[in-house]
């Protein structure tokens, strides 16, 4: 079953990430000590002293990767979202490391000689190597999935427009490693085939299929008119322990990235996603506004200065307009 393989893979991924952090840190130290940016300042502290910091740094980064969902199965996740999570995790990590080190070591003599710029190199190396590592792992997994290995076996419950769209995407992307075993539906005749996926029975057959424990996932793809069956189906799936996902038959109404609110235990789905409602996105936009404004002022300052001089030469009035009242 894919569930057992996923556990082993997650452990391997944690080990690889830990090694990447160590290698990135060692490269940053080497570049600062022996590379083109080397300085005598770093040599005051020993290599062993710098490496002791990894006892704190490695567990911290692994926890941050977990917090930023870098260890959840992402067969269909895009690379940009993963890279974004890697950058955010490393940004938070380097801030914690800076704060922790220079608060704890502020009363020691070693803190005066600890290289601040080395952490900047570590930040860059770790993001680059982490992304390279994950690209290699992603490429390897997608390669073996195309050959029929590491497959996730799925059963669709309900035949609808959403079911057809789901099948279309699975068939177009064999590298995801999804194998749709069939469809259960009460309205479509048994034996009906859509792009190689067959209707194998009614929804009542779920009672007999789930105990066999040969499925990795149930995808509920009911039509809108059959949503009254949803509660019973979810209850059956929960009892069996099979991972269940719900694919709504109103995908043309809600966006691809809706967000939910908790209204005293009642989930409320917001169908309009506003990126700037995210605090991190708002901070990035504000930072870009400030930096962009400064850069533009510097670039265009000669033009503005020349304009001011020409205005003063060709006009007897004040350089800056002032309204008289």
Task: Tell me what the mean pLDDT of segment 89-105 comes to.
Answer: 82
Among 100, 103, 96, 99, smallest CA distance to 61 is for: 96
For residue range 152-195, what is the model confidence (pLDDT) as tens digits?
889 999 898 889 999 999 888 887 888 899 999 988 888 889 98
Give SS3 for 96.
helix
Q: What is the DSSP string of 3-62?
A: HHHHHHHHHHHHHHHHHHHHHHHHHHHHHHHTSTT--TTGGGS-HHHHHHTHHHHHHHHH
pLDDT in tens, 98-118: 877 777 666 666 655 667 788
Mean predicted confidence (pLDDT) in 258-284: 74
Domain map (residue ranges) of the chain: 2-146, 152-271, 274-318
262 has a pLDDT exceeding 90: no
Q: What mean pLDDT is reported for the chain?
A: 81
Average pLDDT in the 68-81 region? 76
pLDDT at position 131 is 92
Helix (H) or strand (E) holding 245: strand 243-246
pTM to 2 decimal places: 0.62
Q: What is the pLDDT of residues 210-238, one digit of tens each?
A: 887 678 889 999 888 888 888 888 888 88
Per-residue pLDDT band at 151 (split at 50, 70, 90)? confident
Q: Is the dihedral of CA 72, 78, 80, 81 positive or negative?
A: negative
Pairing of strands 243-246, 217-220: parallel
Tell which residue, 157, 191, 151, 154, has the closest CA to residue 174. Answer: 151
pLDDT of residue 277: 67
The two tokens of residue 43 are 């040599």
User: Rounded distance, CA 59 to CA 69, Å?
Assistant: 16
Cα 209 to Cα 201: distance, rounded to the nearest angstrom: 10
User: Residue 21 pLDDT > 90, yes or no?
Assistant: yes
Q: Which CATH architecture best describes the domain 152-271?
A: 3-Layer(aba) Sandwich (3.40)
């Amino acid at each position: 079953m894919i569930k057992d393989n996923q556990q082993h893979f997650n452990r391997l991924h944690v080990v690889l990430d830990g090694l990447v952090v160590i290698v990135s840190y060692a490269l940053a130290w080497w570049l600062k000590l022996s590379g083109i940016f080397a300085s005598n300042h770093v040599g005051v502290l020993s290599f062993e002293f710098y490496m002791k910091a990894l006892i704190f740094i490695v567990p911290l980064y692994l926890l941050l990767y977990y917090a930023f969902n870098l260890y959840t199965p992402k067969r269909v996740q895009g690379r940009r979202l993963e890279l974004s999570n890697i950058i955010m995790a490393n940004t938070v990590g380097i801030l914690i490391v800076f704060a922790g080190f220079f608060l704890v070591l502020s009363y020691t003599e070693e803190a005066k000689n600890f290289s601040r710029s080395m952490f900047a190199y570590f930040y860059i190396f770790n993001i680059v190597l982490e992304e390279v590592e994950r690209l290699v792992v992603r490429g390897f997994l997608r390669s073996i999935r195309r050959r029929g290995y590491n497959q996730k076996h799925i059963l669709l419950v309900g035949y609808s427009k959403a079911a057809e769209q789901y099948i279309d995407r699975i068939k177009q992307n064999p590298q995801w490693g999804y194998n749709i075993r069939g469809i259960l539906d009460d309205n479509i005749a048994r034996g009906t085939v859509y792009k190689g996926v067959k209707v194998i029975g009614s929804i009542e057959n779920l009672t007999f299929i789930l105990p066999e424990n040969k499925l990795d996932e149930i995808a509920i793809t009911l039509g809108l008119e059959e949503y009254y069956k949803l509660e019973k189906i979810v209850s059956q799936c929960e009892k069996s322990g099979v991972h269940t996902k719900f694919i709504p038959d109103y995908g043309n109404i809600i966006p691809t990235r809706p967000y939910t609110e908790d209204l005293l235990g009642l989930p409320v789905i917001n169908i309009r996603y506003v990126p700037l409602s995210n605090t991190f996105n708002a901070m990035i936009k504000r930072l870009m506004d400030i930096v962009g404004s400064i850069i533009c002022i510097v670039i265009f300052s000669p033009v503005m200065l020349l304009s001011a001089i020409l205005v003063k030469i060709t006009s007897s009035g004040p350089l800056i307009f002032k309204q008289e009242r």
